[in-house]
Amino acid sequence: MTKMIFVNFPVRDLPRSKSFFASLGYTFNPKFTNDDAACMVVSDTIFVMLLTEHFFKTFTKKEITDAHTATEVLVCLNEPSRAAVDAHLEKALAAGASESREPQDHGFMYGRSYSDLDGHIWEVMWMDEAAAHA
């Protein structure tokens, strides 16, 4: 059985968040998208559930962390090349994201990072696996 992952994020303005991620090229599964949630398709097995804060609160008794002031998780996605990493970041920045840190270049691995509209940190990286194991 293939495993799937559904990462859930609270968002303050669902239409704005959907527009932001659509500008990065992501699509949404309409079967699991409504006024309270949007199912963003990252791949065949990876989905991000963007949940309005009031709906997100129905899944936990804990307070929601303000991702602009605290970090609870880092989400890292790979890209097929350094140029694709840069292109991904440029799209995110043009859509209103902010760069979280300086680019990291380790030769065999290159990565950049941005904070989305709600402050969630997205790492975008390329890695030459053959060189990493050399």
pLDDT given at position 129: 81
Q: Same domain, yes or no, for 88 and 50?
A: no
pTM of the model: 0.89
Over the stretch 57-109, which tens digit does the pLDDT of each residue have?
Answer: 999 999 999 999 999 899 999 999 999 999 999 999 999 999 999 999 999 99
- How many structural domains compose the chain? 2
Q: What does the mean pLDDT of the chain come to?
A: 95
118, part of any domain: yes
Instruction: Examine the pLDDT at 132 and tell me if it is beyond 80.
Output: no
Instruction: Examine the pLDDT at 29 and tell me if it is beyond 90.
Output: yes
Evaluate the CA torsion angle 19, 20, 21, 26 in order and state its sign.
positive
pLDDT given at position 50: 98
Choose among 34, 4, 7: nearest CA to 116: 7
Q: Same domain, yes or no, for 55 and 104?
A: no
65, part of any domain: no
DSSP secondary structure, 103-130, as one string:
-EE-SSEEEEEEE-TT--EEEEEEE-HH
Q: Same domain, yes or no, for 56 and 86?
A: no
Whichever domain contains 8, its CATH number is: 3.10.180.10
Q: Which domain holds residue 96?
A: 70-134
Instruction: Examine the pLDDT at 116 and tell me if it is beyond 90.
Output: yes
